[in-house]
Chain A
Amino acid sequence: MSPADFASFSNNAIAFASVVYVLALLSHLTEWAFGRSLPADVETPREQPVPVVAGSADAAPPYDGPAAAGTDPAAGTVADPDLASKAHNLERFGRIGVGLTIVAAALHLAGLVTRGLGADPARVPWGNMYEFSVAGAFGVTATYLLLLRRYSLRWLGVFVTGFSVVVLMLAVLLLYVPAGPLVPALHSYWLVVHVVAAVIASGAFAVGAMASALYLVKSRAESRDDAPRTGYVARLPQAAVLDRVAYRVHAFGFPVWTFAALVAGPIWAEYAWGRYWGWDPKEVWAFITWVVYAAYLHARATAGWKGRAAAVIALVGFATVLFNFIGINLFGSGLHSYSGLD
Chain B
Amino acid sequence: MRTALVLLFLLALAAVPGSIIPQRDIDAIAVSQWQRSHPELTPVYEWLGLFSVYDSVWFSAIYILLMVSLVGCILPRTRIYWRGMRARPPHAPRNLDRLPESRTLVLDEDSDAVLARARDVLRRKRYRVDVHGAAGEVAAERGHLREAGNLLFHISLLVVLVGFALGSLYGFRGGVIVVSGQGFSNSLSQYDDFDPGALFGADDLEPFAFTIDDFRVSFLESGPQAGMPTEFSADVTYTEAPGKPPRTHDLAVNHPLSLDGGSVFLVGHGYAPRVTVRDGAGDVAYQGPAVFLPQDSSFASFGVVKVPDALPEQLGFEGLFLPTYGFTMDAGPFSRFPDALDPVLSLLPYRGDLGLDTGEPQSVYELDKDKLEVLEREDGSDFRLDIALGQTKQLPDGAGSISFDGVDRWVKLQISDTPGKHLALGGVLLAITGLLGSLFIRPRRAWARVRREEGRTVVELAGLDRSAGGDLGEEIDELEQLIRNRDKEQS
A interface vs B, CB < 8 Å?
A: 57-58, 60-63, 177-178, 180-181, 183-185, 187-188, 190, 244, 247-248, 251, 254-255, 258-259, 262-263, 266-268, 270-281, 284-285, 287-288, 291-292, 294-295, 297-302, 304-305, 320, 328, 332-334, 340
Interface residues of B in 1-51 (CB under 8 A from A): 1-2, 4-5, 8-9, 11-12, 15-16, 18-19, 23, 25-27, 30
Most central of A181, A190, A284, A302 by chain B CB within 10 Å: A284
Question: Could you say which residues of chain A place their CB within 8 Å of the CB of B468?
Answer: 61-62, 244, 247, 300
Residue of A with least CB distance to B53: A279
Known contacts A258-B432, A291-B12; A302 and B228 CB within 8 A of each other: no
Question: Contact between B229 and A183 (Cβ–Cβ < 8 Å)?
Answer: yes
**Given contacts A244-B469, A276-B421, A332-B19, could you give 4 more A-B pairs where the C-beta distance is less than 8 Å?**
A272-B253, A274-B173, A284-B18, A300-B468
Contact present for B428 and A263 (CB under 8 Å): yes
B267 interface residue (CB < 8 Å to A): yes
* Interface presence of B199 (CB below 8 A): no
Q: Once bound together, how far apart are the Cα atoms of A300 and B5, in whole Å?
A: 11
CA gap between A2 and B477 in the complex, in Å: 57
Point out the residue from B223, B225, B421, B439 that lies within 8 Å of A255, measured CB to CB: B439
Q: Is the CB–CB distance between A279 and B23 below 8 Å?
A: yes
* Binary CB contact string for chain B from 452 to 491 against chain A (1 if under 8 A, 0 otherwise): 0000000000000100111111100100000000000000
Q: Are A295 and B8 in contact, CB atoms less than 8 angstroms apart?
A: yes
CB of A99 to closest CB in B, whole Å? 28
| Contact call A305/B5, Cβ cutoff below 8 A | yes
A279 to B220, CA, bound (A): 31
Chain A positions within 8 Å of B26 at CB level: 278-280, 334
> Which of A266, A292, A299, A328 is within 8 Å of B425, CB to CB?
A266
- The complex places the Cα of A150 from the Cα of B71 at a distance, in Å, of 39
Q: Which single member of A60, A62, A180, A288 contacts B228 (CB below 8 Å)?
A: A180
User: Chain A residues near B9 (CB, 8 Å)?
Assistant: 295
Residues of B close to A187: CB separation below 8 A: 231, 252-254
Q: Please, which residues of chain B bring their CB within 8 A of the CB of A58?
A: 471, 473-474
B128 nearest CB across to chain A (Å): 21
Which residues between 208 and 258 of chain B lie within 8 Å of chain A, taking CB atoms?
A: 220, 223-225, 228-232, 252-256
A62 with B100, Cβ < 8 A, contacts A57-B477, A258-B428, A272-B253 known? yes
Contact in complex: A184, B5 (CB < 8 Å): no
Contact B424 A184, beta carbon cutoff 8 Å: no
Q: Does B159 contact A (CB under 8 A)?
A: no
Q: Is B65 an interface residue (CB 8 A)?
A: no
Question: Among A178, A185, A320, which residue has its beta carbon within 8 angstroms of that of B224?
Answer: A178
Docked CA distance A267–B255 (Å): 12
Residue of B12, B54, B436 near A279 (CB, 8 A) is B54
B102, CB-defined interface residue at 8 Å: no
**B225–A274 contact, CB under 8 A?**
no
Residues in chain B near residue A244, CB distance under 8 A: 468-469
**Does A284 lie within 8 Å of B432, measured CB to CB?**
no
Q: For chain A, what secondary structure do more than half of its interface residues adopt (helix, strand, loop), or is it mixed?
A: helix
Within the complex, what minimum Cβ distance (angstroms) separates B409 from chain A?
Answer: 15
Within 8 Å of chain A (Cβ to Cβ): is B265? yes
- Least Cβ–Cβ distance between A338 and chain B, in angstroms: 11
Which A residues are in CB contact (< 8 Å) with B12? 288, 291-292, 295, 320
Q: Is the CB of B435 within 8 A of A258?
A: yes
Q: Are A57 and B474 in contact (CB under 8 A)?
A: yes
B418 touches A275 (CB 8 A): yes
Assess the B228–A181 pair: CB atoms within 8 A.
yes
> Could you say which of A183, A255, A277, A288 contacts B436, with CB atoms under 8 Å apart?
A255
Closest residue on chain B to residue A297 by CB atoms: B439
- Say whether, besides A277-B164, A284-B18, A267 and B425 are in contact (CB < 8 Å): yes
What would 25 A/B residue contacts be, using CB atoms closer than 8 Å?
Answer: A57-B473, A57-B477, A62-B472, A178-B225, A180-B220, A180-B224, A180-B225, A180-B228, A183-B230, A187-B231, A187-B254, A190-B254, A247-B468, A254-B439, A258-B431, A263-B432, A267-B425, A270-B421, A273-B414, A274-B267, A274-B414, A284-B15, A288-B12, A292-B8, A328-B19
Contact of A291 with B100 in the complex, beta carbons under 8 Å: no
Nearest CB of B to A285, in Å: 6
* A177 contacts across to B, CB distance below 8 A: 224-225
Q: Tell me the complex Cα distance, A294–B8, Å.
A: 8
A-B pairs, top 8 by smallest CB distance, nearest first, are: A57-B473, A274-B265, A284-B19, A281-B19, A180-B225, A295-B8, A188-B254, A62-B100
Task: Say whether B439 contacts A275, CB under 8 Å.
Answer: no
The answer to whether B8 and A255 have CB atoms under 8 Å apart is: no
With both beta carbons as reference points, the residue of chain B lying nearest to A331 in the complex is identified as B20
**What residues on B are CB-neighbors of A63 within 8 Å?**
100
Query: Contacts of A276 on B, CB cut-off 8 Å?
Result: 418, 421, 424-425
CB-contact partner of B232 in A184, A262, A272, A285, under 8 A: A184
Residues from chain A with a CB closer than 8 A to the CB of B477 are 57
Q: Are A291 and B254 in contact (CB under 8 A)?
A: no
A131–chain B nearest beta-carbon distance, Å: 13
Q: Which residues of B contact A285 (CB under 8 A)?
A: 19
Contact A178 B431, CB 8 Å, known A63-B100, A275-B416: no
Q: How far is the CA of A267 from the CA of B421 in the complex (A)?
A: 9
CB neighbours of A255 from chain B (8 A): 432, 435-436, 439
Specify the chain A residue showing the minimal Cβ separation from B232: A184
Contact A248:B469 (CB < 8 A) given known A178-B225, A187-B253, A274-B256: yes
Smallest CB gap from A285: residue in B: B19
By beta carbon, the residue of chain B nearest A301 is B1
B440: interface (CB < 8 Å): yes
Measured CB to CB, the closest approach of chain B to A282, in angstroms, equals: 8
Within 271-305 of B, Cβ neighbours of A (below 8 Å) are at none
Q: Which residues of A contact B19 (CB under 8 A)?
A: 279, 281, 284-285, 328, 332
The complex places the Cα of A180 from the Cα of B220 at a distance, in Å, of 9
Contact of A180 among B54, B223, B416, B472 (CB under 8 A): B223
Tell me which of B19, B224, B230, B424 has the highest count of chain A C-beta atoms within 10 A of its own C-beta: B19
- Cα(A298)–Cα(B7), bound, Å: 11
Q: Knowing A58-B473, A291-B15 touch, does A271 contact B256 (C-beta < 8 A)? A: yes
> For the complex, what is the distance from the CA of A271 to the CA of B421, rounded to whole Å?
12
Given A276-B421, A279-B23, A288 and B15 touching (CB < 8 A)?
yes
Nearest B residue (CB) for A182: B230
Residue of B nearest to A276 (CB): B421
The residue that B465 contacts in the complex, of A62, A183, A279, with Cβ under 8 A, is: A62
